Amino acid sequence: MRNLFYLLTFVIVAPITLVTSLFSLNALARANSSENIVYQAQPSQEKISAFTAPRYGSRVYAALPGTIGQVAGVATAKDARIEITKQYLEKYNSPLLGYEEKIIEESDKKSLDFRLLTAIAQQESNLCKKIPSESYNCWGWGIHSKGTLRFNSFGEAIEEVSRGLREEYFNKGFGETPEEIMKKWVPHSPEGSWAKGVNQFILEME
């Protein structure tokens, strides 16, 4: 009699257990599939260029943290841009080293690509290594036949050049690309070499 009871119990419970297990596995598989769809990267429909869309990874500066934006001990996107700029200035032994935070701060205030000021400084003065003595003018800003515009510090120069780029170039239709900036900055650049150089230096800071 006891054996019959065990047999009946097995016959009833086993199918229920099997069906429940299959249902749970199916639900889990559906959940994983949905999660993959939610987190799948979506292709951008916006037309972007290396100049207008700064990236926070770097093929040159591999020491950057691999993850951006987590709470503890990991750089934010802004910190990554500072680090990219710092390492670029270090690589070329630039006198601007130490002003990377100022460069990012002023670029953000004026809504400029964070790499633009550094790229122009590289094109104009080899990152401030070839400038008039004590002028702090790494960008060739205000240079004309009567002399060179001088600043009291690199910080003041960064503020003035970023303001000038925003107000005199971007706001007046000369800021879409380095080629557009060149039309006003140095309109007689041979074969567009100025813009080519700025583009190249921007790409080096990806």
Residue 35, SS3 per DSSP = helix
Q: What is the pLDDT of residue 160?
A: 96
Which range, of 49-53, 150-154, 163-167, 184-188, averages the lowest pLDDT? 49-53
pLDDT (mean) for 116-128: 97
Which range, of 40-54, 78-92, 108-122, 187-201, averages the lowest pLDDT? 40-54
Burial class (CB in 10 A: 0-12, 13-18, 19+), 186: middle
C-alpha–C-alpha distance, residues 99 and 106, integer Å: 11
Residue with tokens 């702090």: 136
Which range, of 85-89, 136-140, 144-148, 173-177, averages the lowest pLDDT? 144-148
Taking alpha carbons only, the member of 111, 113, 112, 84 closest to residue 100 is 84
Domains, in order of start, for the chain: 77-204 (1.10.530)
Which range, of 37-46, 101-110, 150-159, 194-203, averages the lowest pLDDT? 37-46
Taking alpha carbons only, the member of 103, 122, 112 closest to residue 198 is 122
CB atoms within 10 A of CB 22: 10
Q: What is the pLDDT of residue 184?
A: 93
